[in-house]
Amino acid sequence: TKRVRNTKLTRHFLIGNTAHILPHPSFPSSPPDGHTKGWTVYVRPLPNGPDITTWLKKVQFKLHHTYADASRTIEAPGPFEVTETGYGEFGVEIRLYFAPEAGEKAVYREHYLVLAPWGESKDQMERTNEVKAERLETVEFNEPTVEFFKQMTSE
């Protein structure tokens, strides 16, 4: 496959989670026994940022083994997220699968779920019953295939 030499495509996105103490309006009123939190883990574009589904085609989230069907796969157009209830924090294993034209293997990220208020907005998180923990992520396509490069630069 022909590649564009000395060229790198960089794309930004967010990986994170939100969480709420139950009960919360976005969750069913009778969660499984012992489940005290509701949460969503996600891979998202930046606020007002460009569409990520031009390059991101599938996301696999691997949850803690205490979940039935711990492996959750979301295909484009997404949204690339998993919503669950539970009691504890754990590292979610995330695999990002790219458009076939990219000719790139899946890449791996981990997001450690945060369920308790933290940091500078701790008080606000407590007041609003919404915890959020997210970070900016980057993928780089080095010497992209000609086809993928054309597609990405003609958006």
Q: Which residues bind ligand SLL (CB under 6 A)?
A: 32, 64, 66-67, 86-90
Nearest approach, Cβ of 85 to ligand SLL (angstroms)? 8
Cβ closest to ligand SLL, residue 50 vs residue 91: 91
User: Smaller CB distance to ligand SLL: residue 27 or 78?
Assistant: 27
Residue with nearest beta carbon to ligand SLL: 86
Least CB distance to ligand SLL at residue 40 (A): 14
CB atoms < 10 A from the CB of 104, how many? 19
Order across the sheet with 131-142: list the strands.
Answer: 80-86, 37-44, 8-21, 131-142
Q: How far is CA 94 from CA 2, 58, 102, 113, 142, in A?
A: 29, 10, 19, 12, 21
CA distance 27 to 50: 29
Nearer to ligand SLL, 35 or 58 (CB): 35
CB of 127 to ligand SLL, least distance (A): 24
Count the Cβ atoms, other than its own, within 10 Å of residue 106.
Answer: 12
Nearer to ligand SLL, 36 or 73 (CB): 36
